[in-house]
Structures are given as C-alpha cells and as structure tokens.
Amino acid sequence: MIRPILVVEDERKIARVIKVYLEEAGFSVVHVERGKDAMEFASKEVPALVILDLMLPDINGEEVLQEMKDMGEFPVIVLTAKSSPEERVAGFALGADDYIVKPFNPREMVYRVKAVLRRAPEVSDTPVISFNKGSLIVDNHRYEVKKNGVSVNLTPTEFKVFSTLACAAHKVFTREVLIEKAFGYEFEGYDRSIDVHIKNIRQKIEDDPRTPVFILTVYKVGYKFIGERDA
C-alpha cells in the first residue's frame, strides 16, 4: 500500500493547488483542514510525509509540528506565511524537515517534497557502524541510532546529518556540504539552519550538549564527528 502525503491546510484554494501538483507528480494525497484531524490521521495511518500549515483554525501549528515529530515516523514540511529568520529557526528547532514560505511556487514545492523523501536512502555502504566499543551504533538500514543500547529518536533530517558525520568520522564538513547531504539540494540562502539541527542532535546524543564529545564545532568551517570506530 502506498503511503499518502498528508496536507494540513485550512485555505482550500491553496490545498487544492498542492493536491493537484502532487497528484500530477504521482503522489497519493489526503487533505485535512484542522490540526486535530491531522494528528488523528497521522497516528493511525502513518503518512509518507506531512505538509503542515502553521496557522490552523483549531490548534497552534507549532504544537501540531511538535506532536508529529515526537511520533518520529515521517518527515514534516512546514508551509507558512511566517517568513522571518527567527520564525524559520523556530520551525527547524521543533524538527521541521523543510520550511516553505507562502506565496510559493507549486513546482518548487513538489521538488522539495521529492528531496525530503530522498533522504531515506542509505548514506553508507556499511549497513551498521559501531563506535566506542558498541556504546554508539548507527544503523543505515533501519535509519536508527542507538546509544548504550537505547534508541535515539532522531528525525529523518537529523539522522541524515548525523549519519553523514559519523560515517566519515574525523572528517570536517562545512555547513553547505551538510545541507546538501541532508536536503538534497542547495538550501535557500539560510545555511545557519544546519546549526539548529546540530543543536537538536546534540541534545539527544550527548551526555552534556554544552560540552559535546561526539559532534565538535570546527571554528569558521563547520562540524566533525569524533568517535573510535569498532573493528
């Protein structure tokens, strides 16, 4: 069964445009107008991806985004009129996998959907990589990270970023390269958004995010992963 894309948008004209373009691209689409209906559907059906308007009639869109990211089973693209850098950062901080500002180009929206969905392919020829005597494991088949035997709930974007770093331990990656790896295209002029993802990953991976031991910042360059890879 093909998992649908869930469009959460209360403006029917916009929703209709999104639906037409996505269906022309070969996707199955389900549309709801309310946040409550979106969360109910996502908890039961598990969509392939969610396109989420933040300004909904019943529930704050940020709350819906946070709830959906806690489910951790599908990516979420925010579609909103909130366009300031601060609002973008807030969206990424809540776990958004991409951020599209209204008004938008429908063809670009389809391209971004495809780019987000392409993040799932394997990021390494080695299915499972173990570090520090098995204390940290990256499973590129299941898209899962385990720390001390406990699964770490990374979003699809966070997993892609972390796996990119871990699979090339000690290699320094610029922000631009990490964005290309994570998003599959040149991100729209806001490369510091990767800092938000790194911050979120550190919160989940590091014992003390303020003093990281796995993901280190390389001043004026980017980031690198430090870990002893097991044989």
Do residues 48 and 150 share a domain? Answer: no
Q: Is the same domain home to 91 and 139?
A: no
In this predicted structure, what is the pLDDT of residue 105?
95
Each residue's pLDDT tens digit, 116-144: 887 644 444 567 899 988 899 998 877 88
Give yes or no: residues 146 and 75 share one domain. no
Asked if 144 and 106 sit in the same domain, the reply is no
How confident is the model at residue 115, as a pLDDT?
86
For residues 7 and 29, is the Cβ–Cβ distance under 8 A?
A: yes
Q: How many Å apart are CA 216 and CA 231, to the nearest integer?
A: 23
Whether residue 108 sits in one domain with residue 14: yes
What element of type H or E holds 146? strand 144-147
Note whether 112 and 35 are same-domain residues.
Answer: yes
Give yes or no: residues 112 and 9 share one domain. yes
Predicted confidence at residue 157, as pLDDT, reads 83
Residue 76: exposed, middle, or buried by beta-carbon count in 10 A (0-12, 13-18, 19+)? buried
Q: What's the one-letter identity of residue 102?
A: K
CATH number of the domain that 14 lies in? 3.40.50.2300
Total of domains in the chain: 2
Question: In angstroms, rounded to a whole number, what is the distance separating the alpha carbons of residues 187 and 116?
Answer: 12
pLDDT in tens, the chain (231 residues): 468 999 999 999 999 999 999 999 989 999 999 999 999 998 888 898 999 999 999 998 899 998 888 776 788 999 999 888 888 888 888 888 899 999 999 999 999 998 888 764 444 456 789 998 889 999 887 788 999 999 999 988 888 899 989 988 888 888 887 877 766 654 554 567 788 899 999 999 999 999 999 999 998 889 999 988 887
| Residue 153: DSSP 8-state | -
- 0.85 surpassed by pTM: no
Domain that holds residue 107: 5-117
The residues, ordered by sequence, that sit 6+ positions from 190 with a Cβ below 8 Å of its Cβ are 85, 88
Residue 122 is assigned to a structural domain of this protein: no
The domain boundary residue, chosen from 69, 84, 117? 117
Look at residue 182 in the predicted model and tell me its pLDDT.
Answer: 67
Q: Are 223 and 198 in contact (CB under 8 A)?
A: yes
The CATH code of the domain that includes 144 is 1.10.10.10
**Domain boundary pick from 58, 85, 117:** 117
- Cα–Cα distance measured from residue 211 to residue 104, given in angstroms and rounded to the nearest whole number: 40
Does residue 81 sit in the same domain as residue 43? yes
Question: Is 141 buried (19+), middle (13-18) or exposed (0-12) by CB count in 10 A?
Answer: exposed
Residue 153 lies in a domain: yes
First CA to last CA across the chain, in angstroms?
39
Last residue of one domain, picked from the residues 51, 82, 117: 117
Contacts of 226 (CB under 8 A, 6+ apart): 169, 170, 213, 214, 215, 216
